[in-house]
Amino acid sequence: MTPEPAHRHLSARLIETAHGPIEVAQCGKGPAVVVVHGTPGSWRQAAGLALDLADRHTVVLPSRPGYGRTPLPTGRTPSEQARAYVGLLDALGVDTAAVVGISGGGPSAARLASLHPERTTALVLCCALAPHLMVPPTPMRVALAVPRLAEVGTWVQRRALRRRLADAAAMQRRAEADLSPAERAQLADDPGLRQAIVNFHLTHLDAPPPVRGLRNDLQSIGFAPGGAAPDLRAVRAPTLVLHGDADQVVPLMHGEFYASAIEGARLEVLPGAGHAFLITFRQESLDRLRAALPT
């Protein structure tokens, strides 16, 4: 029997906060951890990690503004999104929390720790992009700049993904294209890993189209090449920066930036790991995450 994707074991609700509505799913029991998903995505993207952490933590999974059912006005910039997360913690009655930022969720997670050090018990940045270092692909810039082109492109991509999911050989080729050589070797030996990658793609198909959030990330959050580096000197929480040295989406220099910009931050590099190491190096990355989170 094919394992059910992790996100289908959870449900989300829309919570009103002082900064606007936020779609959020929760699981587990213990010290709170806010897990901020990447670009594009929704809370579903981090559901597998949340269930892995749920034996020791209460995991809070928000959909970033523009993704899922969280409206974009709730927070467009990393700072606005950080304030929205604090509003969410207030609405949930949570005083302090650790925060985990994944990929495109890294900037707002880091801003939460910077703007609200009194609310942040730990910061973990997983393959987190640094806005001033990221250069978006030209097709993405064009698609999001031309009216309605992004919507059409998203619809076409979702149809193509559904076709690939129905064709095992096509899905295998697509999965391998995104992996590092070390990860491809694992894929050949571990059928469960292949299914985990399929389930990750399903997190996108089961979510509303991500056009608004993706456009916002492109314009003001995730991609600002040549801009000023974020000032993170106010971060006081113990910080782990976890990155793969084979990441072709968000190269290692992004992790190196965060490690240098945050006082006392610890950079741990996963040899051979690409951008999907939370899936492909699941146990190793989970062990390191657990060691970094307060219990």
Q: Give dist(CA 2, CA 53) in Å, integer.
A: 22
Verify that 262 and 200 share a domain, yes or no: no
**Domain stop point among 171, 190, 205:** 205
- 176 exposed, middle or buried (CB, 10 Å; 0-12, 13-18, 19+)? middle
Task: Give the pLDDT of residue 1.
Answer: 42
Verify that 153 and 219 share a domain, yes or no: no
Verify that 283 and 173 share a domain, yes or no: no
Mean pLDDT of the 276-295 span: 96
Kindly state the tokens that stand for 215: 């456009």
Q: What is the 3-state secondary structure (H, E, C) of 4-41?
A: CCHHHHCCEEEEEECCEEEEEEEEECCCEEEEECCCCC
User: Is residue 35 one of the residues assigned to a domain?
Assistant: yes
> Which domain CATH number covers 218?
3.40.50.1820
User: Is residue 1 one of the residues assigned to a domain?
Assistant: no
**Domain stop point among 174, 205, 236:** 205
Select the more confidently predicted residue: 1 or 167. Answer: 167
Res 158 pLDDT > 90? no
Provide the terminal-to-terminal Cα distance of the chain, rounded to the nearest Å. 35
Verify that 17 and 51 share a domain, yes or no: yes
Mean pLDDT of the 85-109 span: 98
Strand partners, 36: 101
Res 147 pLDDT > 60? yes
Verify that 36 and 61 share a domain, yes or no: yes
Size of the chain, expressed as the number of residues it contains: 295
**Residue range 12-67, pLDDT digits in tens:** 999 999 999 999 999 999 999 999 999 999 999 999 999 999 999 999 999 999 99
The domain in which residue 161 lies consists of 138-205
**Domain stop point among 175, 205, 235:** 205
Verify that 234 and 115 share a domain, yes or no: yes
* Count: domains in the chain: 2
